[in-house]
Structure 1
């Protein structure tokens, strides 16, 4: 009989063990091994069955056990030491506090999903895991972030695989009272409620949950409240669920409601309202409109408020393909973007922000990434290659400018090492190398013997094999009620075989089934009697992506063949819990997307932290970090005639690497049965690569290159009652109106009959400025190597000097020189761009006039 409602009854913890409740209430336990060991010590078996979640554990452990440990003075003292360590961690100055006043006091970080721990399943894949790692690293560094997301009652989905290999989805409902969350309450003890005005006088209400992620507060908005109708209560039912209107309501709640939740949080906690806002993808873009509405209420116009919002906003894109961007029907968005929702904002002004470049404003889809970029003066991709892709992908927002000038930089993702490094690696570093910080351990030290490192790697492989068998047996049992699991499941995988892992979301571009291009060749690899190789594979396809589901089905059916089923397995329901054993247990991590469609791909980073070597296409992060000591590069067949030929060529290269490079190195053993060359690569990976992959490096880059820059610019535009914002808005309007009258009338050059390297080319340009003054523009010569298709490659830009400043009529003359610093084809042109001290780049306004 099913219950009509479920809720969690929390255990009564004995007073001497009150430290346990405090420790369980802060998600720092999810990456702090000493705290986890403290809970595990009470009852290892219940700790494992509770999912290693202290909140669940305290609800499931036998109360008699708690009473027993409450009487154990040594254990109580241990718990008190860990509580004291947590309090010190939360309050002591850290890296960020050394930066002084030249940094924002509070930074808001918005994301549609957060992967903190499997105990709080509010994530679907890499975007959410990255957001979780960002918060954890920010906490470790003392960066004052407050994060905002949504609380999804059913999270993403739990995956099972039918006997014929088809993905099936379940949406188990989460009880927030049983999760490491607490309601945000006002001074009178009542729950804070955020309200959004909807069309026809309706309203959407949401309560706010708070999770403590170390020093970071994570606020999650939840619409399952009595004030809402049944339809509106389901707005936050599941992550990336529902149709267009459902998704639009989620994103309005995240952006508009999220800013309102921050206002309430700041007032209740007495904390400064954030000075910098970071959008992790375009889903939160409506936060900019809510902020503009508030600034208009303080006396600014729309365009003036827009300048303040742009100055203080950072936008990170994770999307390498246009199809990955949220786009809504214009009429649908227009129905919601009313002054009922956003007081003082005219709907036409708001809608214009989402119009795609070159499209008819009356019919264009409302593009969330385009709006995000128009609302943010600071933008980045998530790897160097992805930065290049993003500049090309969004370049039409800045027409007339080359891709290298598009104002989108890159910060390569990182992963939170304390979360993703296996305890066995931590213990080896501490016991052998004398440090609890594996990122800074001397893994090349002779104090660490090859045999010791190899033994740890095998132990992690054993852990993976045992976990995979448990998962497969549980899956079998769920599909065959009452039937005993077949004996062969107990033989799946070999702890001494070369283990190759592949786990990620399953859109088609990640090519889950590239390894199946030549099934017979893969079979030969998997069934090699002398050099055993095995594949462990996992991943979820979006519920609406039947093509992705077919890829999973094809792989599962291949793996079901009796001669292969012990050597290649697909593990259902990939999540953070599975990842904790999968990454450490693999020897090689495989990644074979279509280049350049992998924005970053951090799973290979997590594997590297645990001594796995990468086998990957040069895409995402691997394109900038790949070296022979860290793994192998699968060559891209970029010049293939079509997709089928490309897949065939790249699969053949994959097989060749496994057969001729990877297998021989793994199975070439010394007298101690240790693959010395392989272990040498593991040492190099741990010593030299892993420290570069940390989320602490990533967050420091965000602080130094984006957050502090945004804060300085915000101070400039908001000083003296936002004088800078008003001036910049007026300048922008004036220049846009006058720009059609700007032209380069004539360019002449001279001084060189036969040009040689080192010669100086003199230039003079006559420029018509119309109603603008010389102070409003910069005239530049753009020069560089010229190709056969008449494109300037690697252009250099130098300002020309005004030479007739006193002449108020007619074209203005500008002069300068270009040094010929290279042999070969050379080309140049002259252009005019707007100039203002508060513009962040020449391309910012998307205005340029080039000599014809």
Structure 2
């Protein structure tokens, strides 16, 4: 018989062990090894059985064992010390508090230098720990690492997402290697979550008005990630109709209507959840809102509704929202963006037929919402476009991805060259305590002489690795490889049994893989562009590499295809069928059900991390960073983060055939280059040993990788970059917009006056801009025989269509010109206003030395200028001569 419902019953803890609930309820245990060791000590066998989950451990440990532990003075002392350490971690000043102290306090109670009082971080998935499977891949793992590092740095951040009843999916294989999905139901009461309740103990609900009079309600679960509260909205409650209870059933499941409901709940419901949480906890409302991808983009529309309700007009409210919003894009291809039919958006955001004022966002015109998502296809609503239009600051997740994003979204800033599109970049990072093997963390403590590893953010700290004997580094790498082989064998056995094999025919697994053999890992989601099967392009050559007598390699492959992606499933099946062959199955394996626990073992133990996407379609690719943190060497196409940080000594670059129209030919060329590298460079370095059996050249590459990449790949560096580059400027921008404005007439003297000023300026600029014209450019100051450094004087006459000279920026633009007269790598020179001429035109001039030799050209342009804009290119308006 099957149970109707699953729920968790925990053992009653005596007072002496009550701190176990405190430790298990804060997900800091997921990156704190001493806390994990404490729970394992309760019952090592049970710890492994419950998946190394403290909450589950407390639900399964027997009362006799609990009583025994309560009498164990040594255990109780360890428990008390760890509880005290957690309390100290949660309360002591960290980097953010030190930053505030260094810069002095604000008289109005605000943090100094624009440091935000609070940051709201929205993501559709969060990979914090495997026991909370709210993630599918890199986006969620990145979000989880962002929260952990924000906690380690002391940021006042609140995160928001959805609680999926079935998470993503569990993956297994059929006998013929086809991916199967299963969706086990998760009991939130058996997870490290607490329900947000009011003073009377009742669950706090947020509510959303949907079409046809429906109401969607959600409760709020709180996962405590160190210092960071993660709010997860859950629609599976009795207050909802049956179909609405399923809104939060699965991550990335369902049709477009299901998806838009999820994204409305994440964005609009997420803002309402933050308001409920901060009110219940007595916390300040966040000043900065960060969208991790466009899924939660409707949060901006909800914030506009709040401000309209407070008395602002739409455009003033939009100005305030934009000033304080950051948008991060993670996709390098249009196909990766959520797009909804416009009529679907209109149905959810328009007024109910026959009902006065019954709508999801009262006071917010539906046509303005639709305009946020406008794109070339008038029938589609583009979530990324909405994110960019609602955020004053935007970024990609590596230098190369920033370049790709500027090209991808160039049409939103017509008239600007790709390089001037206001999308920056912050390269992703990974959370070292989560992803670095305990052996490396222990070595770090030894080198620092301290348990405080915060100085790992400093490059000079990593220079201490020069003190470490090569033999010791090789011993760590060999230990980790041996542990990986044991783990692979256990997973292989489980997979083969699940596929229908008999135990009697699996004797070969006991000797499958070899702790002494060069081990390569390839694990990630399975979209087409990641090219899971590039390694199989020449199966005979791959087999020869696997089975080489003197320098063999072994290959571990893992990854999930989206349940609706039969093409991805077919790629997995190709790998499985190749790996099933008796000739090679001891050297190559596909491991199903890739998750954080498997990933960790792979990052620890693989000598080489393989990545071969179609360049430039990998936005960042943080899996290679995690391998590098463990002394793994990357073997990768120059894409994502590897494009900017590969230096020739920290791994290998797979040559690319960029621009080749024939995709099959491109795959052949790049696969051949991969095989050549493995055969001629990677394997020889690994197997070339000194008299002690140590591959000295290999170990020096490992040392160099750790020294050079260690401080760069850290998520703490990433979160510091976000704080300094985006969060602080956004908070400063918000505070400027809510101040009285600068008009001498006094019409902007009230609060939000600056926002009203900017909103009216935008109106005037958009109205005037079609008539703004550069009527004449005079270069009479150009010498007859110009030399490098010669002075060029340009004068321009501009019709400003009623705008004042100080409301525009007039620029001379100079640079080398190509055969089509396009300016290449131009420089801009501000032109100053020198007065009015006939017909009301304004005169501007600039004098500048000629900066380069060769074919040089110039032009003049006009852009809007206002002190509250993040840049003169923000409005996407430009007039060229």
Q: Normalising TM by the smaller chain, what interval?
A: over 0.9
Pairing partner for 1:460 from 472, 480, 483: 480
Pairing partner for 1:529 from 545, 549, 553: 549
1:80 aligns with 2:73: no
Structure 1 equivalent of residue 99 of structure 2:
99
Residue 83 of structure 1 deviates from its aligned partner by 0.4
Distance (whole Å) between structure 2 residues aligned to residue 485 and residue 27 of structure 1: 41
1:216 aligns with 2:236: no
Residue 843 of structure 1 deviates from its aligned partner by 1.4
Residue 65 of structure 1 deviates from its aligned partner by 2.1
Q: 2:11·2:62 contact (CA, 8 Å) conserved in 1? A: no
1:29 aligns with 2:29: yes
Residue 461 of structure 1 deviates from its aligned partner by 0.8
Residue 66 of structure 1 deviates from its aligned partner by 2.1
Which string of whole-angstrom CA distances, capped at 9 and with x for unpartnered residues, describes residues 779-838 of structure 1?
111111111122111111111122224x58432221112311211111110111111111
Structure 2 equivalent of residue 749 of structure 1:
779
Which string of whole-angstrom CA distances, capped at 9 and with x for unpartnered residues, describes residues 325-359 of structure 1?
00001111110013511011111111111111x44
Structure 2 equivalent of residue 685 of structure 1:
705
Structure 2 equivalent of residue 18 of structure 1:
18
Show structure 1 runs of 5+ residues with no match: none
Structure 2 equivalent of residue 207 of structure 1:
219
CA separation of 1:442/1:258 partners in 2, compared to 1, >3 Å: closer, same or farther?
closer
Pairing partner for 1:397 from 379, 387, 412: 412
Residue 492 of structure 1 deviates from its aligned partner by 1.8
Structure 2 equivalent of residue 365 of structure 1:
380
Structure 2 equivalent of residue 263 of structure 1:
275
3-state SS of paired residue (2:711): helix
Structure 2 equivalent of residue 739 of structure 1:
769
Structure 1 equivalent of residue 363 of structure 2:
344
Residue 503 of structure 1 deviates from its aligned partner by 0.4
Pairing partner for 1:813 from 821, 834, 843: 843
Distance (whole Å) between structure 1 residues aligned to residue 501 and residue 627 of structure 2: 36
The CA RMSD measured in Å over matched residues stands at 1.4
Residue 171 of structure 1 deviates from its aligned partner by 0.7
Structure 2 equivalent of residue 845 of structure 1:
875
3-state SS of paired residue (2:203): coil
1:606 aligns with 2:626: yes
Residue 409 of structure 1 deviates from its aligned partner by 0.5
3-state SS of paired residue (1:654): helix
Structure 1 equivalent of residue 790 of structure 2:
759
Distance (whole Å) between structure 2 residues aligned to residue 485 and residue 419 of structure 1: 37
Where does 1:402-421 land on structure 2 (aligned, <5 Å)?
402-421=417-436
Pairing partner for 1:719 from 731, 739, 764: 739
Which string of whole-angstrom CA distances, capped at 9 and with x for unpartnered residues, describes residues 117-140 of structure 1?
001000000000000000000000
1:660 aligns with 2:680: yes
TM-score (normalised: structure 1): 0.98
Q: 1:379·1:407 contact (CA, 8 Å) conserved in 2? A: yes
Distance (whole Å) between structure 2 residues aligned to residue 683 and residue 803 of structure 1: 60
Structure 2 equivalent of residue 550 of structure 1:
570
3-state SS of paired residue (2:222): strand
Pairing partner for 1:116 from 120, 125, 128: 128
TM-score (normalised: structure 2): 0.94
Structure 1 equivalent of residue 856 of structure 2:
826
Pairing partner for 1:773 from 796, 799, 804: 804
Residue 755 of structure 1 deviates from its aligned partner by 1.3
Distance (whole Å) between structure 2 residues aligned to residue 277 and residue 325 of structure 1: 20
Distance (whole Å) between structure 2 residues aligned to residue 670 and residue 681 of structure 1: 15
Distance (whole Å) between structure 2 residues aligned to residue 446 and residue 596 of structure 1: 35
Range with bigger deviation, 733-742 or 476-485: 476-485
1:788 aligns with 2:819: yes
1:674 aligns with 2:719: no
Structure 1 equivalent of residue 288 of structure 2:
276
Pairing partner for 2:312 from 287, 295, 300: 300
Distance (whole Å) between structure 1 residues aligned to residue 444 and residue 830 of structure 2: 55
Which string of whole-angstrom CA distances, capped at 9 and with x for unpartnered residues, describes residues 622-672 of structure 1?
011101221011111114341111111111111111111111100000111
Residue 396 of structure 1 deviates from its aligned partner by 0.6
Q: 1:538·1:571 contact (CA, 8 Å) conserved in 2? A: yes
Structure 1 equivalent of residue 206 of structure 2:
194
3-state SS of paired residue (1:206): strand
3-state SS of paired residue (1:628): coil
Distance (whole Å) between structure 1 residues aligned to residue 630 and residue 795 of structure 2: 61
1:254 aligns with 2:266: yes
Which string of whole-angstrom CA distances, capped at 9 and with x for unpartnered residues, describes residues 222-247 of structure 1?
00000111100000000000000000
Residue 569 of structure 1 deviates from its aligned partner by 0.5
Structure 2 equivalent of residue 131 of structure 1:
143
3-state SS of paired residue (2:794): strand
Show structure 2 runs of 5+ residues with no match: 101-110, 352-358, 741-750
Which string of whole-angstrom CA distances, capped at 9 and with x for unpartnered residues, describes residues 239-284 of structure 1?
0000000000000000000000111101100000110000000000
3-state SS of paired residue (1:277): strand
Distance (whole Å) between structure 1 residues aligned to residue 505 and residue 406 of structure 2: 53
Distance (whole Å) between structure 2 residues aligned to residue 447 and residue 705 of structure 1: 35
Q: 1:150·1:236 contact (CA, 8 Å) conserved in 2? A: yes
3-state SS of paired residue (1:692): coil
CA separation of 1:850/1:446 partners in 2, compared to 1, >3 Å: closer, same or farther?
closer
Q: 1:244·1:328 contact (CA, 8 Å) conserved in 2? A: yes
Structure 1 equivalent of residue 46 of structure 2:
46
Q: 1:590·1:614 contact (CA, 8 Å) conserved in 2? A: yes
Distance (whole Å) between structure 1 residues aligned to residue 505 and residue 496 of structure 2: 6
Residue 2 of structure 1 deviates from its aligned partner by 0.6
Structure 1 equivalent of residue 55 of structure 2:
55
3-state SS of paired residue (1:804): strand
Q: 1:469·1:490 contact (CA, 8 Å) conserved in 2? A: yes
Residue 442 of structure 1 deviates from its aligned partner by 4.9
Range with bigger deviation, 378-387 or 780-789: 780-789
Where does 1:558-573 land on structure 2 (aligned, <5 Å)?
558-573=578-593
CA separation of 1:475/1:210 partners in 2, compared to 1, >3 Å: closer, same or farther?
same
CA separation of 1:12/1:563 partners in 2, compared to 1, >3 Å: closer, same or farther?
same
Which string of whole-angstrom CA distances, capped at 9 and with x for unpartnered residues, describes residues 725-777 of structure 1?
10111000011011111111111212311111111111111111122221221
Which string of whole-angstrom CA distances, capped at 9 and with x for unpartnered residues, describes residues 466-519 of structure 1?
111111111122232765451112222111100010000000000111111111
